[in-house]
Structure 1
């Protein structure tokens, strides 16, 4: 009898244990993001969460060109296909005001994330409106515009001698846009299939805008007053026009056929031995230090965006925060996931896997800054970043900027001032249409 009862009790225990396991496995979360390496790193990271909790987490991706359209199609339909989204910083306006994102202000304050995450990532990835103290995302993937370059070209004694003879100063990593332009001109030798620089020119989404605004910001310009929506005299200021004109000058020293380029092409400018310097977001630099993907890995260096003529130094912010989607049926579970994600040990693991953590403690650590040849430049950059408009009509104003600057930079039509005058007029009309002026 005891043997029978023992067996029965053991069977009940096993059934209960299996039932608990099954119930845990039934809990699932889906995170939506763009298709790129950091999304793969995130999937590897969240596998640890599944191992710890039994909750399956899937990082679902789509190509970059389709990312915004697919996300907002689902949002506008109030669909529950995704529980969380790693959305662009510029989505904060639409995500918050149109009811797509869950308000994370209480979560933010409870965990004192203002003291945990880098200030710029809070300002641009999490808070909307600016200065409101309302938070809609947790900074996840920090990113910004940076540069790679061919160290062997820069350090060649003959090149150094020739450069100094022509420009009157030593050839070195550029600290100003003027130096960047000189170096691009110096190495631009089409007859040798060697070119000066690779920059972003794709205007189908935000690539070209990010490259241009890095120059505009560093030249002392701005895109407008994000609080009042004032654009006249700001968007089209002389400083902004000078920054745009510098970007146009750099375009003259790009490889042939460089009229529709983004991160793939700019990395290929280095791996293919084409250019002396190449612009890209830091998140795309890992392949450049891998000998399997870059034959010049040992002679590839990195630097932060240079300063403008008055010493101002900024870089366009990339990166994303992670938000809970208000239409999800798993919001409570999503909040538990965020509590796990912000832990120090999780942030350290995220950085080790290749993710660009926004944790101040991890960013400042020697271990992080020495982990790759570009991490120190990334750290420096994250404290000098500025971002594009995050207004709900972001997609419209981005398209207007693209339509105005592309013919000037790539097509050589008109002037920088004319392109920005048209942009200011377009933006004023758009903001008037949406009743932004009160």
Structure 2
């Protein structure tokens, strides 16, 4: 396991930028993949601990080996809360023991402005069918700068390619609330409250509340979006007065005063595993979960809802998120990015892996193996849509996605929001005060001059 404080003993090739200029953009990958080695080589990824990480390692070692039998794929993982620091501590030392960093979409700005990852624009132009993707997904997982989240700018550079798409699905107990899922957020809250009242020991809702990673912030941002709020004005770099306007305050009130009372005692630090456990143990009427993290819910060994997958699906339904004032859903997923400090031969292999991985037939195989592809033809394929009951939810949600702030100081902004939302959910801070504090503290970060360009 790669620890957050570890520094690599290898790497340092590939002509990585040694500049301390905060606007440095790192070296450019060539349009043509350099000659690959025939010697045994290990291609190393870094990600966080969750089922897709093992799925990627197994899939790549099975399928990529058919093309490159001398290559071993290793997907090294760290706890989710340590994920950012595990990568950027090594980036700061300009040595990495990984070749491919799997970055959250919001990490890209920090990595680009510090020169940590390769500019893949020429490589993409020569090797990737960009028209095969929804422009939003190419922008979200690779483009920088992003003047407006999710808008593809063909003049902007690309620093990554999609690895895993994702968004939230609403999971609901068909046997407790009925076959038809709630259509609005207000209806969902009412259904959860009624279900909780009618089923002692079962909580109306289960959702992410933890102060770790981006858990509590994504939950607030999702509610903010469906009630018509905005996180900021990107063009004016304005947060204060936007996130905490009337719509933002309404969203915080709904989250803390209407949704939180429907959750289980002690759920104030729940994240992915705890929500899955509540659903699998039959302790939640309605839950929200990342689609890529939902596969275990269908495993009878991890569930008390049935002895077979079909028995579980008699009780569980999966639907797109309800709408309210808008129909926005959170963008999840991650892209692949090549370390500027990887050895030359590893950078070449990483480029070849990306070219291979983004092909239509490979994307469909990845979908069948449990991945969430980004190519439109793979998203619409039977290999994906028939693989799991929540995959159609993802396909239906792509056009509704909204991301956060794609700026170099994302890590500071998310920490401010997580801390305050978690405090409001746990009763440690008044909800309105928490939101006003988020707005003021985030604005101060942007105004400090450390925010980098958009």
Instruction: Give the alignment's TM-score, normalised by structure 2.
Output: 0.83
Q: 1:278 to 1:290 in 2, by over 3 A?
A: same
Tell me which of 422, 425, 438 is aligned to 2:437.
422
Match of 2:373 in 1: 357
Question: What SS does structure 2 have at the residue aligned with 1:259?
Answer: helix
Tell me which of 135, 150, 175 is aligned to 2:173.
150
Question: What SS does structure 1 have at the residue aligned with 2:232?
Answer: coil
1:235-384 map, 5 Å: 235-248=243-256, 249-296=258-305, 297-298=312-313, 299-308=315-324, 310=325, 312-329=326-343, 330-384=346-400
Match of 2:233 in 1: 225
Question: What SS does structure 2 have at the residue aligned with 1:382?
Answer: helix
Contact 1:217–1:315 under 8 Å retained in 2: yes
1:131-146 map, 5 Å: 131=153, 133-146=156-169
Query: Root-mean-square deviation (CA), in Å?
Result: 2.0
Contact 1:137–1:321 under 8 Å retained in 2: yes
Match of 1:10 in 2: none
Contact 2:91–2:116 under 8 Å retained in 1: yes
Mapped to 2, the partners of 1:103 and 1:55 lie a distance apart of 24
Match of 1:181 in 2: 189
Query: Which structure has the greater CA radius of gyration?
Result: 1
Match of 1:73 in 2: 89
Mapped to 1, the partners of 2:129 and 2:430 lie a distance apart of 47
1:320-340 CA distance string (max 9 Å, x none): 000011011121221111111
Superposition deviation, residue 31 in structure 1: 1.3
Mapped to 1, the partners of 2:169 and 2:199 lie a distance apart of 28
> Which one has a larger percent helix, Structure 1 or Structure 2?
1
Superposition deviation, residue 113 in structure 1: 4.2
Question: What SS does structure 2 have at the residue aligned with 1:153?
Answer: helix
Q: How many residues align?
A: 399
1:217-236 CA distance string (max 9 Å, x none): 11111111234311133221
Match of 2:425 in 1: 409
Superposition deviation, residue 191 in structure 1: 8.0
Q: 1:377 to 1:284 in 2, by over 3 A?
A: same
Contact 2:370–2:387 under 8 Å retained in 1: no
Gaps of at least 5 residues in structure 2 are 1-36, 147-152, 306-311
Mapped to 1, the partners of 2:84 and 2:245 lie a distance apart of 30
Mapped to 2, the partners of 1:388 and 1:190 lie a distance apart of 37
Match of 1:59 in 2: 75
1:146-198 CA distance string (max 9 Å, x none): 1111111123xxxxxxxxxxxxxxx8411111011101111223982121010
